[in-house]
Amino acid sequence: MATLDYLEKHLGSSIVYDQYDPVAEYYQQQKIQTEKYFKHRKLDRLHQQFATLTKGLQNRVDLNFPDYIKEKTGYDIDIFEDLRKRVDTIIEQTEIRSKKELNDVGTMLRYYQALTDKQKIEKLNALLTTYFKEKNENSHKRKSGYSEVISREEKDGIETVTVRISTGPKPKHFKEQEEISPDGKHKLCVTQWSDGKNSSTYVTIEFPGVNGPVYGTSGIHSDIKAWWKDNSTIVIETKREYEAIAYKEVRSFDEVINIDYIEH
């Protein structure tokens, strides 16, 4: 319950659509479920639920969570202990052998970057470089997923590599239009996507640390456009005939962006 309180406090209101907060609602529902598990003495379910919740904290490399739990419950918890041991094993074997190992290395790389542990950062970057080099060389054999290096940046002697990893087959059609807000704080993206059987066109807004779709419809529609009217307003141009999920406002904590529509 302390973990759920922590998550709701820090992630609730992270993305709110037309006054609807799906993140806060999710954690409220989880609290109800937790009470049921406890009432019926479902310890295995509580273990599983706690592992799932802390997995998200791992992925976000949340270094403040242990102090919060210690203060609220008196327990000392290291959510990175098992992950750290698994990645040490990967370092010893000198190669990444699976998608799970790739995810583990990526998470621990962000962890060691937060701690500025240059030695571990160099070792993990070397593993990732070798892995993606081999993947690219054998790209014609890859069927279950694909990845690409988006950017490399070096600061204070530490290289940060940004990698996009996608599960499933590479889409048959994928096109993005990106536009940064005038103040440079936010980004909108119009995406056309198709796997050959299903297709969609949708608009997402990216806040610092979170992004979410504000408009979406099935099918590929190159006539759907979006742009910034000002720092707090975007305009989406579309057609009335498209059946779509469309919001008029999206908020992340105190930042509010309004959505205006031009429908033909």
Q: What pLDDT, on a 0 to 100 scale, did the predictor assign at position 136?
A: 74
State the angle between helix axes of 2-11 and 43-59 in degrees (0 to 180), rounded to the nearest 10: 30
The residue with greater pLDDT, 171 or 45, is: 45
Q: What pLDDT, on a 0 to 100 scale, did the predictor assign at position 161?
A: 59
Q: Please check the confidence at residue 240 and state whether its pLDDT lies above 80.
A: yes
User: Of 20, 53, 73, at which residue does a domain stop?
Assistant: 73
Is 205 found in the same domain as 127? no
State mean pLDDT over 224-253: 97
Is 198 found in the same domain as 141? no
Between 134-148, 208-222, 230-244, the lowest mean confidence (pLDDT) is in: 134-148
Q: What pLDDT, on a 0 to 100 scale, did the predictor assign at position 108?
A: 96
| Total domains present in the chain | 3
Domain of 150, in residue numbers: 81-167
Pairing label, strands 16-17, 187-194? unpaired
In sequence order, what are the residues at sequence separation of 6 or more whose Cβ sits closer than 8 angstroms to the Cβ of residue 50? 3
Q: What pLDDT, on a 0 to 100 scale, did the predictor assign at position 82?
A: 94
User: Of 110, 141, 167, at which residue does a domain stop?
Assistant: 167
Handedness of CA 84, 88, 94, 98 (dihedral sign): negative
Is 185 found in the same domain as 238? yes
Is 179 found in the same domain as 258? yes
Q: What pLDDT, on a 0 to 100 scale, did the predictor assign at position 165?
A: 57
Instruction: List, as one string, the DSSP characters of 102-157.
Output: HHHHHHHHHHHHHHT-HHHHHHHHHHHHHHHHHHHHTGGG--SEEEEEEEEEEETT
Q: Please check the confidence at residue 157 and state whether its pLDDT lies above 90.
A: no
Give dist(CA 262, CA 264) in Å, integer: 7
User: Of 110, 140, 167, at which residue does a domain stop?
Assistant: 167
* Banded model confidence at residue 159, pLDDT cuts 50, 70, 90: low
Is 157 found in the same domain as 236? no
Is 233 found in the same domain as 258? yes
**Nearest alpha-carbon partner for 15 in 6, 24, 28:** 24
State mean pLDDT over 123-135: 91
Q: Please check the confidence at residue 114 and state whether its pLDDT lies above 60.
A: yes
Are 108 and 83 within 8 A, CB to CB? yes
Give dist(CA 2, CA 154) in Å, integer: 38
Q: Please check the confidence at residue 180 and state whether its pLDDT lies above 70.
A: yes
Q: What's phi and psi for 105, nearest 5 deg? A: -65, -40
pLDDT digits (tens, 9 = 90+) for 225-239: 999 999 999 999 999
Is 142 found in the same domain as 157? yes
Give dist(CA 44, CA 42) in Å, integer: 6
Q: What pLDDT, on a 0 to 100 scale, did the predictor assign at position 163?
A: 59
**Nearest alpha-carbon partner for 4 in 38, 36, 33, 28:** 28
Q: What pLDDT, on a 0 to 100 scale, did the predictor assign at position 139?
A: 61
Q: What pLDDT, on a 0 to 100 scale, did the predictor assign at position 172?
A: 85
* Residue type, position 233, single letter: T
Q: What pLDDT, on a 0 to 100 scale, did the predictor assign at position 168?
A: 62
